[in-house]
Amino acid sequence: MRGPLIVIGDAMLDIDLEGDADRLMPDAPVPVLDNLVETARPGGAALAAAMAARDGHDVVLITALGDDEAGERLEQLLDGVEVCRLRYDGATSVKQRVRADGQSLLRLDSGGCAGRITESAHGWVALGRAAAAVLVSDYGRGMTSLPGLREALGLLPQRVAVTWDPHPRGSHPVAGARLVTPNEAEATTFGSRLGVEVPPGTSGLAAVGRRADGLVSGWEAQAVAVTLGKRGALLSYGDGVPVVTPAPSVHCIDSCGAGDRFAVTAALSLGEGQLTTEAVHAGVMDAAAYVAAGGPAALRSPDRSEASSQGSRTAEEVIARTVSQGGAVVATGGCFDLLHAGHVATLRAARSLGDCLVVCLNSDESVRRLKGPSRPLVPAVDRAKVLEALECVDAVIVFDEDTPVHVLGRLKPHIWAKGGDYAGAQVPESAVLEQWGGQAVILPYLQGRSTTQLVRIAAEAAPSQVNASAAAQPDVNTRKESS
């Protein structure tokens, strides 16, 4: 992006107290937790800022923190974030979740309501003029109602894309916001306040769409995206047919923070110049990936800014879950440049050998070294997305070396499935698999299917035929959006 992401909103300290629950109290039917482990992380607007920083972006967080231990601890957790800390004469907001075996039992909230912000944010908000995007993360704790803040924020949509993640206890978005991101329950509450009418008997997506249309008008926003949890998100421009982005099916471990992940990705995408529909789609995909990786647990993993680390985190989460359930982990690898029927057949066969399939994908530089300077035809980020969309693929990890030996040493799959013409020959990765008792196998390969063949066929096509085909296709991306 051409500038930083400015995050404005209510920050808090989130603390998880995790323990083992294998017995009940003798005097009450409540669990007894042993072996408690405390984990602290940023929450609220601070979580949004931390996510963006882990994505590798420059981030400025404008928030109010108390002069207390919780405030200092929270600021120390915000590694890589420039914190513009406003003075607050109360206690820093703290949310403590008591959990056992991944299940939340109780939440204890303290601070953040009785105090007053004693410093104007107007000067800090001026930083937004140099920002690539602004995200307002409203948790109803007072930041968005500061005197002068709304006036300053109201000028920003003329210069930068403002994404507003609202809260029922907070302020309504400023007019002209590029995107407002309530969840379904919030959209219902806000719609009632604004008098949005939903005809009797209207339910499901039809009701969500009506409310979203009304919120666009009532808030004078450019667009409203209502997040629908595992169903994805509905995007409305206030008129016409809404755009619905379904979420991929994932195993939800802990959904805490999924809404923040959606809003952060959408804001960053808008800051990079993407269309609102593209930003919402990216937000849905990243929120699903965040949940699949363990939700808040993913924040303790390596930075997302490294492609290989991003894949490793997701792959390792899938592998850990599979192994904990006594399942067999299968891995395969390749360039997968222009996915074709031969690839799909091999992937399906590999998945049938075990309980999860991890694909080790050659990075762009690795493909160039192996295939020549004209390859890959498709960048690694898109190749990974196509593979992840296949039902038979559970995770994708990108590696930079010429062979996946190093990444296999980290993942330690039970089975390494190799497609192609290795029958009767030694599979190069066999030696490393033997170190932990893994097994390399050969899978049949569909003859006559290859990326090289597809490239040759495309190159031999008559230019006139290619041009005629392109001319016959309608332009489906003609909607104009203001910058």
Please report which residue ranges of 156-246 form alpha helices under DSSP H: 184-193, 204-219
Amino acid at 379: P
Is-contact 10 91, C-beta < 8 A?
A: no
Exactly one of 260, 286, 364, 394 is catalytic; name it: 260
How far is residue 24 from each of residues 36, 207, 407, 429, measured CA to CA in Å?
16, 44, 43, 50
User: In sequence order, what DSSP letters do the residues of 315-335 get, joined into one string?
Assistant: HHHHHHHHHHTTPPEEEEEE-
- Phi first, then psi, for residue 407 (nearest 5°) are -70, -35
Please report which residue ranges of 114-180 form alpha helices under DSSP H: 122-125, 149-155
> Which residues have a Cβ under 8 Å from the Cβ of 59 and sit 6 or more positions away?
4, 5, 6, 7, 49, 52, 53, 80, 81, 82
**Residue 233 in 3-state DSSP?**
strand
Bridge partners, 396 (sequence order): 359
Is-contact 52 165, C-beta < 8 A?
A: no
In whole angstroms, what is the distance from residue 186 CA to residue 139 CA? 12
The DSSP symbol for 201 reads T
- Phi first, then psi, for residue 104 (nearest 5°) are -75, 130
In whole angstroms, what is the distance from residue 227 CA to residue 172 CA? 17
In whole angstroms, what is the distance from residue 204 CA to residue 6 CA? 35
Q: Has 394 been annotated as catalytic?
A: no
Catalytic residues: 260
